[in-house]
Amino acid sequence: MLRPTTLRPILRAQLRAQSTPIVAAHARRTFLASRGGARATQDFDLNKLHNKRRDYEHNRTAFLAAGAIAGIISFIYTAWKLKDAIYAEAEKKKSQNAAQCDSPIPTETFKTEAGEKRKVILHDDEGREIVPTGNSVVQTFPRTIDIKLPSDSRSSNPIEASISKNEGVEFTLVGLGTRTVTFLGLQVYVVGFYVATQDIEKLQHYLVKKVNSLATTLIPAEKETLRKSLLDASESEETWDTILRDAGCRSAFLIAPVRDTDFHHLRDGFVRAITGRSQRDNKAYGDEQFGAALKDFKAMFNRGSVPKKKELLLCRDRAGQLIVMYDRAKKNGPRDVMGVVSDERLSRLLWLNYLAGSKVASEEARKNITDGVMEFVERPVGTVATQVL
């Protein structure tokens, strides 16, 4: 028979073996029970559900407000574009009615007849001759304009006396084009070159004699030679510089902006062109007199805005004096004389900026003016002023 002292270690071992898995199982049940309780608490957390619902409502309201604002902006933009389209269409119809053409105003300035280029001539409602510019804003230029220069006086020349009027001297359009800036080709203004009708003979004489000193008119081969020289950078500079110095031809540039601008903007472009050419020869243009003339030229442009289609006239008289005129204050009134610069060099440099050199203000205008010159030299010297071109 076993004694109690012998049984005690055995009982302890059995109890230990039985109690260990029970504790582990109990521990596992307690752990799982705690996780299940946390998930249930989280799933039924009313505060979190309320916050999520509130955030959803805020986001929904923000999206709806953004959509409403975008709709209003798109409505305003569409209405604005529609207004511009209606205005442009009205302006187009108004111009077409003024020209009284059966078809829309053509975009070509010249047409070919019998192998020769001729200006496209239209008539407005008053019977005046106009020339299409190819521009959608300034669609036409007058073929002839009357300019009353302060330096002009009565002449004994019968042709000049017959052409001169009370409104001034008649000038005939030679060519025109649109000035563009930047690589995007932004249009600034349409410019037309005019020559006093009675002075076309002088222009003919210099151009014809340049090619053939014995001729009074040029044949097609000689015309092509003259055309190339007028488009060449160095030859054109020499040719027009000589004509402007010695011929005594009265001429003018008519400028009509295609968008609203101001006098300061136009002045800056003119001044850059003048100074850029004058800096090539400091000996000829570096004196104080030329500096004073440039200063006077700048001062006459201290004005305000220039609405689109308003006409600015740059005129050059026989002595090379520059007269700047602005649009008529009244429909039939005289043009406003902005100022006069007597130094011939300034107007000559400004004219060369459109007519000659490697870089001109408008290459389209230079080519168009050259085509117009070809119309003159194909006719005998002295016959253009007395007939319709």
Split at pLDDT 50, 70, 90, the class of 3 is low
- Whether residue 98 lies inside any domain: the answer is no
- Verify that 145 and 237 share a domain, yes or no: yes
Which range has the worst mean pLDDT, 29-33, 123-127, 185-189, 344-348? 29-33
- Verify that 153 and 24 share a domain, yes or no: no
- Whether residue 97 lies inside any domain: the answer is no
- Verify that 114 and 39 share a domain, yes or no: no
Which range has the worst mean pLDDT, 34-38, 189-193, 268-272? 34-38
Which helix (H) or strand (E) covers residue 16, if one does? helix 4-43
- Whether residue 294 lies inside any domain: the answer is yes
pLDDT, one tens digit per residue, over 206-260 is 888 888 777 777 777 888 888 898 898 888 889 899 889 888 889 999 999 999 9
Phi, psi of 111 (to 5 degrees): -130, 160
> Could you write out the three-class secondary structure of 45-71?
CHHHHHHHHHHHHHHHHHHHHHHHHHH
How much is the mean pLDDT over the chain? 79
227 vs 197, 222, 235, 370, 377, CA distance in Å? 22, 9, 11, 7, 11
Q: How far apart are CA 199 and CA 93, in angstroms?
A: 37
Looking only at Cα atoms, what is the longest distance across the chain?
A: 170
Which range has the worst mean pLDDT, 154-158, 222-226, 258-262, 317-321? 154-158
- Verify that 147 and 25 share a domain, yes or no: no
Domain that holds residue 27: 4-44
- CA–chain centroid gap for 152, Å, is 35
Amino acid at 6: T
Percent of the chain surpassing pLDDT 90: 28
**Which CATH number belongs to the domain containing residue 247 in this structure?**
3.50.70.10
- Verify that 166 and 18 share a domain, yes or no: no
Q: Which residue has the higher pLDDT, 233 or 72?
A: 72
Which residue, among 105, 109, 110, has the nearest Cα to 136 in the 3D structure?
105
- Whether residue 70 lies inside any domain: the answer is no
Q: What is the mean pLDDT of residues 91-99?
A: 59
Whether the pLDDT of residue 385 is over 80: the answer is no
Q: How far apart are CA 97 and CA 91, in angstroms?
A: 10
Which residue, among 351, 262, 341, has the nearest Cα to 299 in the 3D structure?
341
Whether the pLDDT of residue 83 is over 80: the answer is yes
Q: What is the pLDDT of residue 273?
A: 92
Residue 83, both tokens: 């207004």
- Whether residue 71 lies inside any domain: the answer is no
CA angle 114, 115, 119 (to 5 degrees): 80
- Verify that 227 and 331 share a domain, yes or no: yes
- Whether residue 50 lies inside any domain: the answer is no
- Whether residue 74 lies inside any domain: the answer is no
Q: How far apart are CA 380 and CA 389, in angstroms?
A: 13
Q: What is the mean pLDDT of residues 295-311?
A: 90
Q: Is the pTM of this model over 0.85?
A: no
- Whether residue 200 lies inside any domain: the answer is yes
Total domains in the fold of the chain: 2
- CA–chain centroid gap for 198, Å, is 34
Residue 52, both tokens: 């999520």
Q: How far apart are CA 80 and CA 87, in angstroms?
A: 11
- Verify that 204 and 316 share a domain, yes or no: yes
- Verify that 13 and 114 share a domain, yes or no: no
- Verify that 36 and 172 share a domain, yes or no: no
- Verify that 19 and 130 share a domain, yes or no: no
Q: What is the pLDDT of residue 167?
A: 66
Q: What is the mean pLDDT of residues 68-83?
A: 89
- Is residue 247 a contact partner of residue 203, using CB atoms and an 8 Å limit? yes
- Verify that 124 and 31 share a domain, yes or no: no
Which range has the worst mean pLDDT, 21-35, 183-197, 310-324, 365-379? 21-35
- Verify that 171 and 319 share a domain, yes or no: yes
